[in-house]
Amino acid sequence: MSTPRARPLNDLRLIGAGGTNKVMAGELSRIARRALPELRLSEPQKAGPGALLYPFEPRLARLAAFYHRTSVRVLWDVLETSANRLEPLFDDVVALVSADAPRYLWDGARISVYAHAVDTFAAGERQIIGTVKNGVIEAAARRGMQLQLDPDAPDLVVSVRGEADKLTVSLDLAGRPMNQRGYRTQGGPAPLREDLAAVLLMLGRFDPRKDVLLDPMAGSGTIAIEGACMARGMPVWVPPRRPLLAAMPEFRGLDPSGENSLFADTQPTVFASDVHTGACEAARNAAQLAKVDSYVCVETSDFRDLSPRALPRSESGAGLILSNPPYGERLAPGDLLALYSDLGRFCARFPGYRAAFLVANREFEAAFGMRPRIKKPLSNGPLRGYFYLYEID
């Protein structure tokens, strides 16, 4: 029997970069309105600076695992325990998983377990993983199901996350980080993570119905590709990748395809340029794999040589210039500040546009030469930076 230290959960958890709660909620609302108009979306509960909780609903969970681009993980929380030793942790997992096993376990399933932020637990990470794995296998056996451990090719991935004095056991509905889309087979020296590119597009208020999207320092094209994919509401995954939830009993009977674009009537206009030939070739290949090459134009050019008249324009005259410029790791300080100044002058040639940047360099704002409308702390991995949004007059 489970003790009061443990309780079952039934929550959908979205995890993203720190400070992206509103962005993740906004994107989920956008795709849910299109895909599940009959579903009334609950107000999410914040579970930290980069995590949201919704009441679990299979259709919403499936939608998030297939289409939610601003999250890093999409989880189904199934239990919580304050056990601080391995033996009671095992007992709690067995008791609570066996009670609900038919919803997400099946005979012959191959499983894998990973742990995150469990440093305060009395045992080590490997011991915690082993205990939870054994508990899930024992719980399945009590319901007449045999599971196999297979960390290389699992059918089901179990997540164990530490928070304060508790451990939460969840099912990773995608089975991998959401940024591992499958279209980026080549990357530059400092590639922007795909989910963070999606966050920037949301923060920049990219509206493909009236905006042209320009990335003048595109690198391997992540912002441009994510812009086109988000505009059309395309699935996150490039085949053969697909979320693992498709095999779970709870999701059987739902539409299994996940192949359709939610906004298939949208025809975005996206332009990307970079001075490096190799980066542009990588961007073109990625756009083709993501099936947005017909919407993304990639040109090998220094942005300072681009003429606004030669670039695509929208009928409304509106647009978004969005980029993740260099921070200084590979440029001399004087060259970097000159680059930022030139970027400011380039953007000034696009009245009616918005310009937005993610930069981890304190000198950017002064060198760019305009006053930002929005300045928001936003990190790129370990680099602490800011998101800047400008209105070009």
CA 334/CA 367 separation, integer angstroms? 11
The residues pairing with 320 across neighbouring beta strands, listed in sequence order, are 213, 354
Q: Answer whether residue 187 is part of any domain.
A: no
Query: What span, in angstroms and rounded, lies between the C-alpha atoms of 109 and 119?
Result: 29
In a domain, 385, yes or no: yes
Radius of gyration of the chain (CA): 23
- 209 and 139 within one domain: no
Do 56 and 150 belong to one domain? yes
- 65 domain-assigned: yes
**Where in the sequence is the domain holding 385, given as residue range(s)?**
194-391
Q: Could you tell me if 267 and 302 lie in one domain? A: yes
Does residue 117 belong to any structural domain of this protein?
yes
The domain that contains 380 carries what CATH number?
A: 3.40.50.150
Position 383 in a domain: yes
CB atoms within 10 A of CB 371: 10
| Co-location of 100 and 160 in the same domain | yes
Q: Which residue has the tokens 């009061």?
A: 4
The answer to whether residues 135 and 96 touch, using CB atoms and an 8 Å cutoff, is: no
Domain stop point among 172, 206, 229: 172
Cα angle at 313 between 310 and 317, to 5 degrees?
A: 135
Same domain, 284 and 143: no
Does one domain contain both 284 and 319? yes
In this structure, the answer to whether residues 155 and 202 fall within a common structural domain is no
CATH code of the domain covering residue 153: 3.30.2130.30
Q: Are residues 121 and 205 in the same domain?
A: no
| Residues in CB range of 37: below 8 A, 6 or more apart | none
Q: Taking the chain (393 residues) in consecutive chunks of 10 residues, what is each chunk's mean pLDDT?
A: 79 96 98 95 94 97 97 98 95 97 97 95 94 98 98 97 94 97 81 95 97 96 98 96 93 74 96 96 97 97 92 87 84 81 97 96 95 94 91 94
**pLDDT at position 2:** 46
CA 176 vs CA 179, 247, 258: distances in Å: 8, 15, 17
Q: Report the C-alpha gap between 168 and 380 in whole angstroms.
A: 26
Q: Both 168 and 255 in a single domain? A: no
Q: How far is CA 381 from the centre of its chain?
A: 13
Q: How many folded domains does the chain comprise? A: 2
Same domain, 325 and 215: yes
Say if residues 122 and 85 touch (Cβ distance below 8 Å): yes
Asked if residue 131 and residue 76 are part of one domain, the reply reads yes
Q: Confirm whether 342 is domain-assigned.
A: yes
Three-state helix/strand/coil letters over the chain: CCCCCEEEEEEEEEECCCCCHHHHHHHHHHHHHHHCCCCCCCCCEECCCCEEEEECCHHHHHHHHHHCCCCCEEEEEEEEECCCCHHHHHHHHHHHHHHHHHHCCCCCCEEEEEEECCCCCCCCHHHHHHHHHHHHHHHHHHCCCCCEECCCCCCEEEEEEEECCEEEEEEECCCCCCCCCCCCCCCCCCCCCHHHHHHHHHHCCCCCCCEEEEECCCCCCHHHHHHHHHHHCCCCCCCCCCCHHHHCHHHCCCCCCCCCCCCCCCCCEEEEEECCHHHHHHHHHHHHHCCCCCCEEEEECCHHHCCHHHCCCCCCCEEEEEECCCCCCCCCHHHHHHHHHHHHHHHCCCCCEEEEEEECCCCHHHHHCCCCCEEEECCECCECCEEEEEECC
Q: In what order do the strands lie in the sheet with 296-300?
A: 296-300, 269-274, 211-215, 318-323, 353-359, 386-391, 374-377
With respect to residue 46, please indicate whether it lies within any of the assigned structural domains: yes
Do 46 and 147 belong to one domain? Answer: yes
